[in-house]
Structure 1
Amino acid sequence: MITGGSFFMLGYSLRPDAKMTRKNATAYEYMYATYPFLESWVDSLQNAGALRDTVIADPQGVRLHAFYAAAPEPTDRTAVIVHGYTDCAVRMLMIGYLYNRDLRYNILLPDLHYHGQSGGKAIRMGWKDRLDVLRWMDVANAVFGGETRMVVHGISMGAATTMMLSGERQQPYVKCFVEDCGYTSVWDEFSNELKSSFGLPAFPLMYTASWLCDLKYGWNFHEASALKQVAKCELPMLFIHGAADDFVPTWMVHPLYQAKPGEKDLWLVPGVGHAYSYRDHKEEYTARVREFVGRYIH
């Protein structure tokens, strides 16, 4: 029974195929309904041939996809923008708008492993994705001139990915990070979801499912820790979290913020649920990102 439960949990968490297929199929429709100002901006980029596709292969030969667009005027300022769980690059175009249209940055938006137009066997919750995004950062730097000044901005699982990669050695072009509602670790996030959705304790399913994940996909829930990685981050980071978030519980931002050494800011957004800080407070979100990132990318 425990073995069967572990297989179910792994499939439920890391291969929610039907949900992702629906979200991919309706990504533009959803974005234009939620953020009506995006449609004319995306149309203008597409009509000018400015919103482009690129692909790379990971070390195992898996095809990975990204969109990118140059700034309206030539600049070395560049943002790499990382989407959340079961989302895709298209569903991060509102943050693309913030950087490209409002702040006049070059942008690159990758589809993480198993998301959007990228290949792969299963969701990796940001852990192995951190290495792919580091490769995408190199791609963005090269595409936009080779001497960029870069921010990485992620939401939800993309924020966890951003924190996970922030603990790795950084190239000189990377200047700062923005994480919006990321989790402390995969173990903490899955334990919370197991309890809130199914009323089950961590033991024994979390332990057996983590072991199975290691066996099948080469990583486990314990090692996939944004908390441990952000403690090694040497560059500035802005932390954003909705004060009413119960999917990635708001409490998670506090140990993350405390663990981060050096320069950092925290914005707790009153009354906001998971990943809706930009949607519900667009002007303030833009202003806070502009001010924080602008300290390090002039």
Structure 2
Amino acid sequence: MVIAPVYGAMLRTSDGVRIDAGHFPGPSGDLGIVLAHGFTGSWRAPATRRIAAVLARYAGVLAIDFRGHGRSSGLSTVGDLEVLDLDAAVRHARTAYRRVVTVGFSMGAAVALRHAALHGGVDAVVAVSGPARWYYRGTKPMRQVHWAIEHPAGRLAARLARRTRIAVGRWDPMPLAPYEVAPMIAPVPLLLVHGDADTFFPLEHAHQLYEAAGDPKELWIEPGYGHAESAATPDLIRRIGQWTSRTKP
């Protein structure tokens, strides 16, 4: 069942971008989850709200729209400067919760990994359906994603159809890839979740991340699970919620 957030919030990043957020109530003030959506997603999307509603059984949930998405300002950099968006959300969550865990899907998974490694301030990280490296084009869906990012017609389609506004040009400098930052996360607990039916990123991405990361770490390979928020079952989200509730500061 989808529940409405107790309040909406407009956060501000260290580089001045306004980030739209929604707070879903949890059972106590001890544990907070910051929920990070995938590319072209939104915390207001039905799939993300369903996930937040399930996670709210275990923790308070602060769900955000990354820059360039939905009602947030700025332009999407597809995983680079989004670490500043997540950092603003983590700092906001820290004002209400003793423990804070980030849970990211797809692009949000890459951002959660990079944030934990480069900014810290979290008690655990969950990365679902995340890429291990940049510029992956080995599947048809990812070739379509690159068309949306790299071509004017693709960026226009993303803006009109998905309310996603994408920055023009290549990264400069190139940010460290998720597998490169994975060793920096330890000793913060890390959970990697990936489906064996993911049509965007095959299982090699999950294995590359897991092999690069330090302990403590877990890898869940989910049979029949596709990609990110839209394919996540309530049972999977419940198990993720239970895992986050077991994390210790």
Short-chain TM bin? 0.7 to 0.9
Letter in 1 for 2:11: I
In structure 2, the residue matched to 1:85 is: 39
Q: How big is the shift at 1:249?
A: 2.1
Deviation at residue 274 of structure 1 after TM alignment:
1.3
Structure with the largest fraction of helix:
1
Check whether the contact 2:100–2:123 (CA below 8 A) recurs between aligned residues: yes
Aligned partner of 1:292 among 237, 243, 247: 243
SS of corresponding position for 2:84? helix
Distance 1:296 1:68 in 2: 21
The answer for the alignment partner of 1:54 in structure 2 is 9
Tell me which residue corresponds to 2:54. Answer: 98
- Partners of 2:199 and 2:141 lie apart in 1 by 12
Structure 2 CA distance for partners of 1:79 and 1:133, relative to 1, 3 Å:
same
Gaps of at least 5 residues in structure 1 are: 1-36, 206-214
Give the Cα–Cα distance (whole angstroms) in 1 for the partners of residues 39 and 87 of structure 2.
Answer: 18
CA RMSD of aligned residues (A): 2.8
CA drift of 1:288 comes to: 2.7
Larger relative contact order (C-alpha < 8 A, sep ≥ 6)? 2
- Residue 94 of structure 1 and its aligned partner are, at CA, apart by 2.1
Report the TM-score, using the length of structure 2 for normalisation. 0.80
2:22 is aligned with 1:67: yes
Once residues 246 and 239 of structure 2 are traced to their aligned partners in structure 1, the CA distance between those partners, rounded to angstroms, is: 11
In structure 2, runs of 5+ residues without a counterpart are 151-166
Alpha-carbon distance change, 267 to 195 in structure 1, aligned in 2, over 3 angstroms: closer
Q: Deviations over 1:44-88 (max 9, x none)?
A: x5xxxx2x11113334433221111332x4422110000001011
Give the distance between the partners of 2:141 and 2:114, measured in 1 at CA: 24
Contact between 2:183 and 2:214, CA under 8 Å: does it hold in 1?
yes
CA 236–258 in structure 1, closer or farther in 2 if over 3 Å, else same: same
| Aligned-partner residue type, residue 181 of structure 1 | S
Contact map agreement 2:13 2:84 (CA 8 A) in 1: no
Residue 199 of structure 2 is aligned to residue 246 of structure 1? yes
C-alpha contact (below 8 Å) 1:129/1:161 kept by paired residues: yes
Q: Deviations over 1:231-289 (max 9, x none)?
A: 2112111111110112122221001011110111111111222126863x422x14432
| Equivalent pairs, count | 226
Give the AA of the match of 1:177.
V
TM-score w.r.t. length of structure 1: 0.68
